[in-house]
Structure 1
Amino acid sequence: MHDGTSGRSSELPNSLPVTVKICGLQDVEVLKSMINLPVDYIGVVFAKSRRRIEPEQAVALRTVLFEWSTYDRPKLAGVFMNPTLEELQDIMQVVHLDVIQLHGQETAEFCKQVKQRWDVEVFKAFSFPKDETGPEADNAALKTLDAYENVVDAILLDTYDPLYGGGSGKTFAWERIPAYAEWANSHGIAMFVAGGLQPENVQQLIQTYAPYGVDVSSGVETDGVKDMDKITAFVERVKQA
């Protein structure tokens, strides 16, 4: 389950259980309560966000992850938006991240430098304005993606938020997914879908589009706080799907 995301064959997204990433964790006690759930990635946010945490908080969360058994231990992903290498270095010196997830306008060359410098998985998010549709937009975006071949381990599709880039809690036009899934499969790169997912709609997404993974944050919160009932329901419905 935790063998990395690169080198996937084009048939694997349909033959393996869907990978689950719970993002925006801040609370150690919530993470401790998740120890029996089959979660693959835990995300912590260092980008501008109401869920942003300090590196020292991430260290505390990572310590909790080591209470999992080795086989079931989720990987820790740090979410950034247009960071400098120096900013990443400052955080990596404090907390060892397994994944660096980039949500801004980071170039393929920057992603390559990140991967080479820290030997981490690199996820690159691509955010869609909610009302932006049409093959022209997708064709332009897919051409942009080609530069990231052999550079990133996963792409993550999210709804664009004008303030934070992603993490809007709103769905984008899901019918756009197949073009990106085809690109990801043909290049051996994992594809995660985020944006507006919640326990009530995640099975529909999986059964219709069969992504490699799903990423949720606000969809498992109540009044802005992670809700264990919602987290449990979300994970169970993903694995059932």
Structure 2
Amino acid sequence: MSGRANGLLVKICGQTSRAGAELCAGLGADMLGFIFHAASPRNVDPALPASLDLPGVLKVGVFVAQTPGQVLEIMRAGRLDIAQLHGGQSTAFCRELAEALGPERVMKVVWPEKAAGLEDFQAELDRFAPCCGRFLADAGKDGGGHGRGIAASATDLLVAASFPRPWLLAGGLGPGTLAPALARFGAAGCLPAGLDLNSGVESAPGVKDETLLRQAFAEIDTLCAAKNT
């Protein structure tokens, strides 16, 4: 579902307004993320995504501390397409959602920085694969919004791992950081299926900046064009 030559998906997370969401969609975002976590400055009500009709764009709910029942209710109320589990939820939790929604509508976040090593990280991927359609690899050891890239040693795990599902790369991505972040994966021939951008394209928490967004999309398109020449 991407208009880019190599099919690279772009998700812009932390949407807090109709104007911001419509801007991101108009610039070519494939997915928009809506955070449902009271402690986040980007926390929103399900009414926001429910009010948006953006053909071809997937609306992703980001969940941290909810119960499975609460996730399902917010998914329904917000007219959301994908549930992103960003709170270290268990395999049982993930399986319950997959049974209710279908695994293709579940995206499980993983933090390679907290893995003891490749064997440990690979075991986590294999354990969750049956109950999710995508993974998202983020910086840090839990939560999100760290504003930095994934550490070099953890990047090595991502390169060496065999992902059983498509995966998105997150962590401090924006103008100027996209090419360096992808260079290691491109050199190893294991580019992610997509990118997740948030604070790197903001002027303030939850406020998407049009100039930064345009710069980021231009860099992504340049990277895609170079890959296909």
- TM-score interval w.r.t. the shorter chain? 0.7 to 0.9
CA contact (8 A) 1:158 1:167 kept: no
CA contact (8 A) 1:30 1:226 kept: yes
Partner of 1:193: 169
CA contact (8 A) 2:12 2:24 kept: no
Partner of 1:168: 146
* Paired AA for residue 25 in structure 1: Q
Q: 1:226 to 1:170 in 2, by over 3 A?
A: same
Secondary structure of the residue aligned to 2:161 is helix
What are the within-5 Å matches in structure 2 for residues 179-190 of structure 1?
A: 179-185=157-163, 187=164, 189-190=165-166
* Paired AA for residue 167 in structure 1: G
Inter-partner Cα distance in structure 2 for 1:198 and 1:136: 29
Partner of 1:202: 178
Once the two structures are superposed, residues 60-97 of structure 1 have per-residue CA deviations (whole angstroms, 9 ceiling, x without a partner) of: 2x33x14xxxxxx2101000014212211321231221
CA contact (8 A) 1:127 1:160 kept: yes
C-alpha RMSD of the superposition: 2.3
Match 1:122 to one of 101, 106, 122:
106
What are the within-5 Å matches in structure 2 for residues 1-241 of structure 1?
A: 1=1, 16-47=6-37, 48-60=39-51, 62-63=52-53, 65-66=54-55, 73-119=56-102, 121-127=105-111, 136-160=116-140, 165-185=143-163, 187=164, 189-209=165-185, 210-224=191-205, 225-241=207-223
Once the two structures are superposed, residues 114-137 of structure 1 have per-residue CA deviations (whole angstroms, 9 ceiling, x without a partner) of: 1221235211112355xx6xx844
Partner of 1:12: none
Secondary structure of the residue aligned to 2:84 is strand
TM-score, normalised to structure 2, is 0.83
Quick one: percent identity of the two aligned structures?
A: 25
CA contact (8 A) 2:61 2:75 kept: no
Structure 2 gap ranges (5+): 186-190, 224-229
Inter-partner Cα distance in structure 1 for 2:101 and 2:132: 13
TM-score, normalised to structure 1, is 0.79
**Count of aligned positions:** 213
